[in-house]
């Protein structure tokens, strides 16, 4: 091997002396091909997103041609209160013209599913009889939960601090401040079931999705032995099944392209779950599973029906 390497080096030195231009061309070819392939992947990824947005624009145009119902005058939209402080919830309800009754509630499980710490006074809303859901097929962009104006909504709050990492791996976790929105970077839990290198990819994937998909801001984190969990805003789970299928298919292609680019740069490979890319999940902020990657079919499977 050493002799072969010396012969190759001597060959290029000789070529560089006698045929410098030809030598530079030979050396430049693999660099050019690598750059070209990288640009082709970026362009392919852009085309996937452009195609998705084109289809969504067509769907949106068709939807607008349908008759959309007006929200009844006696109803007001119930604010999203999950994981917000009692003071914040009170302000949101006052602004909406609703009253709130706080009751103690244990929602440690919901916090664990959403991989977030909760602190005394953080809130969580459960379904109840005076809440009415208006579907997007009938009410368009005004879909969501509604209640009669002036009515009282029961909201649960936690009477203790809960650290999801303690429950998961039995160790002290770093303090994560409570927030009313998704954090700008994913948690970096590096338990034995996770690959520290893939935490870096989670950040890369998060930035890639947020760059290409304007209507949602997402958080991506690694879990379950290298699986990528993408957390979307709460409203996504109310979209139609057809929309979610098209959207999850587009997100899988973004994930696939992003991973190929990142792994080529980092010289990283995975055989997670028998696939050449990390397993891929899409969830809403409350932990509802929107879609997941099927290893058998190699496609995304939507888990909710609207």
Does residue 129 have a pLDDT over 60? yes
Asked if residue 152 is part of any domain, the answer here is yes
Asked if residue 66 is part of any domain, the answer here is no
Same domain, 223 and 283: yes
Asked if residue 91 is part of any domain, the answer here is yes
- Indicate the average pLDDT of the chain: 74
Same domain, 196 and 295: yes
Domain that holds residue 97: 75-157
Same domain, 124 and 194: no
Same domain, 144 and 224: no
The domain tally of the chain equals 2
What pLDDT is attached to residue 191?
Answer: 36
Asked if residue 15 is part of any domain, the answer here is no
Does residue 62 have a pLDDT over 60? no
Residue 138 belongs to a domain with what CATH number?
3.30.10
Helix (H) or strand (E) holding 300: strand 299-302
Asked if residue 164 is part of any domain, the answer here is no
Does residue 142 have a pLDDT over 50? yes
Q: Which of 43-47, 170-174, 292-296 has the lowest mean pLDDT?
A: 170-174
Same domain, 104 and 201: no
Same domain, 190 and 228: yes
244-269 tens-digit pLDDT: 888 888 888 888 888 888 888 887 76
156 vs 180: CA distance, rounded Å:
16
What pLDDT is attached to residue 261?
Answer: 86
Instruction: Report the share of the chain in percent with pLDDT over 90.
Output: 8
Does residue 192 have a pLDDT over 70? no
Asked if residue 28 is part of any domain, the answer here is no
175 vs 163: CA distance, rounded Å:
8
Asked if residue 122 is part of any domain, the answer here is yes
pTM of the model: 0.41
Instruction: Give the residue with greater pLDDT, 127 vs 52.
Output: 127
What pLDDT is attached to residue 99?
Answer: 93
What pLDDT is attached to residue 170?
Answer: 36
| HEC per residue, 65-117 | HCCCCCCCCCEEECCCCCCCEHHHHHHHHHHHCCEEEEEECCCHHHHHHCCCC
What pLDDT is attached to residue 18?
Answer: 64
Same domain, 196 and 298: yes
Q: Which of 26-30, 91-95, 98-102, 123-127 has the lowest mean pLDDT?
A: 26-30
Same domain, 196 and 122: no
Asked if residue 291 is part of any domain, the answer here is yes
Helix (H) or strand (E) holding 119: none
């Amino acid at each position: 091997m050493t002799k072969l390497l010396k012969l190759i080096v001597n060959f290029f030195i000789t070529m560089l002396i006698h045929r410098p231009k030809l030598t530079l061309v030979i050396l430049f070819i693999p660099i050019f091909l690598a750059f070209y392939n990288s640009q082709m992947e970026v362009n392919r990824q852009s085309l996937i997103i452009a195609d998705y947005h084109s289809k969504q624009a067509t769907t949106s145009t068709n939807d607008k041609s349908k008759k959309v119902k007006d929200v009844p005058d006696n109803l007001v939209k119930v604010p999203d209160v999950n994981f917000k402080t009692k003071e914040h919830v009170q302000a949101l309800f006052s602004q909406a013209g609703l009253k709130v009754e706080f009751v103690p509630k244990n929602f440690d499980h919901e916090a664990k599913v959403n991989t977030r710490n909760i602190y005394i006074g953080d809130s969580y809303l459960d379904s109840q009889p005076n809440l009415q859901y208006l579907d997007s097929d009938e009410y368009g962009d005004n879909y969501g939960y509604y209640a009669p104006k002036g009515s009282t909504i029961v909201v649960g709050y936690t009477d203790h601090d809960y650290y999801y990492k303690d429950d998961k791996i039995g160790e002290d976790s770093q303090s994560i401040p409570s927030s009313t929105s998704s954090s700008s970077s994913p948690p970096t839990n590096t338990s034995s079931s996770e690959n520290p290198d893939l935490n870096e990819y989670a950040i890369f994937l998060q930035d890639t999705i947020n760059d290409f998909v304007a209507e949602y801001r997402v958080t991506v984190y690694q879990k379950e032995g290298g699986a990528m969990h993408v957390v979307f805003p709460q409203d996504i789970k109310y979209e139609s099944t057809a929309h979610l299928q098209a959207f999850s298919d587009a997100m899988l292609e973004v994930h696939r392209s992003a991973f190929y680019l990142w792994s080529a740069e980092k010289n990283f490979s995975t055989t997670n779950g028998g696939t050449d890319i990390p397993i891929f999940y899409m969830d809403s902020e409350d932990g509802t599973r929107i879609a997941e990657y099927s290893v058998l079919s190699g496609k995304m499977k939507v888990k909710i029906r609207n």
